[in-house]
Amino acid sequence: MKYTEFTGKTVEEAIENGLSELGLTKENADIRVLEEGKKKLFGFVKARVEIAPLEENEKNEEKSDVAASVSEKTDGERTIAFLEGLFELLNVTACTELVSEGEKIEINVTAANTNSIIGKRGETLDAVQTLAGAVANTGREEYKRVVVDCENYRENREATLKKLAENLAQKATRLGKKIKLEPMNPYERRIIHSALSEIEGVRTESEGKEPNRYIVVIPDNLEDPNAPALEARNGRDRDRDRRDRGARGGYNNRDRGDRGARGGYNNRGRSGGNRNFNRDGKGSSSGGTTMKPSSDFFGIFLGNSGNKDE
């Protein structure tokens, strides 16, 4: 290599002058410091450096050294390094632990705020796991499964899904109807399929397209194969339905006192703020005491106008 000497007040300045003149960067240049600049009582001693461009084979040697250092890490260790960098970019305080690296790579994440890692129904955790799987399998011929968990979320979620599957199987058999679950990711669908494969009297099918693919629980005693599947609804939905029955045409105990507003009179003293009827069957907008309906009143509702000649 042919070295060229450059000077400056400091080593940094000398290097910058040399790289600029040679049109090089630090990555593709070999730099040797000959003398560091220093101040004297009168003036200063200039810094001196020598710079030469790297040969192509030396560049390749440096690249191979970097590749060798990377290849020394296992798939799991590379994935851990990636996740740590990812969490740093996301400003998420979390610690990663390589639990095992056998048939599958298992990684556990501990975070100050678990919601920032797990997300709604585990969506964020699933996204992190997908990225981790892509990193771990880079350059591999055979795919290795990667599982990223956060403080036993997946174990708890699996137990919840198995319990849900058992309850829906009982419901489908009791009603003799198909039951449709909400959309789930492939991992959670596998849990449902596996749980119900061990229960007699029901079978499962997946329908729809990703990301809205869902499971249908089908009982062996299905009454109408062409009937639409019932939607699996949780307790909150049922409670809300009960509260809304009055709005769909029914009424609850609190509504009974307001029946006068719907054409009748109430059970609490026959008084109300709606129209009342006097003895002549004529309406009155006052809020006084409701009079006992006469026979003419009922005659109007039965089609009798009260005229004896008709």
Structure confidence by residue, pLDDT tens digits, 211-244? 899 999 999 999 999 999 999 875 444 444 444 4
pTM (predicted TM-score)? 0.50
8 A C-beta contact, residue 192 and residue 181: yes
d(Cα 243, Cα 168) in Å, to the nearest integer? 24
d(Cα 44, Cα 5) in Å, to the nearest integer? 18
For a pLDDT cut of 90, what percent of the chain falls above it? 48
Distances in whole angstroms, Cα of residue 268 to Cα of each of 5, 117, 256, 308: 107, 57, 9, 36
In the chain, where are the structural domains located? 4-67, 73-151, 162-235
Determine what percent of the chain falls in helix, strand and coil, rounding each to the nearest 5.
Answer: 45, 20, 35
8 A C-beta contact, residue 260 and residue 272: yes
8 A C-beta contact, residue 112 and residue 129: no
What was the pLDDT predicted at 26?
87
What was the pLDDT predicted at 187?
84
What was the pLDDT predicted at 63?
53
What was the pLDDT predicted at 9?
86
Instruction: Indicate the SS3 state at residue 82.
Output: helix
Q: Which CATH number fits domain 73-151: 1.10.10.10, 3.40.190.10, 3.30.300.20, 3.40.50.1820?
A: 3.30.300.20
8 A C-beta contact, residue 78 and residue 135: yes
Q: Which residues of the chain have pLDDT under 50?
A: 66-69, 235-310
8 A C-beta contact, residue 4 and residue 51: yes
Tokens in use for 85? 């960098």
What was the pLDDT predicted at 65?
53
Topology annotation, domain 162-235: Ribosomal Protein S8; Chain: A, domain 1 (3.30.1370)
What was the pLDDT predicted at 258?
45
d(Cα 87, Cα 97) in Å, to the nearest integer? 13
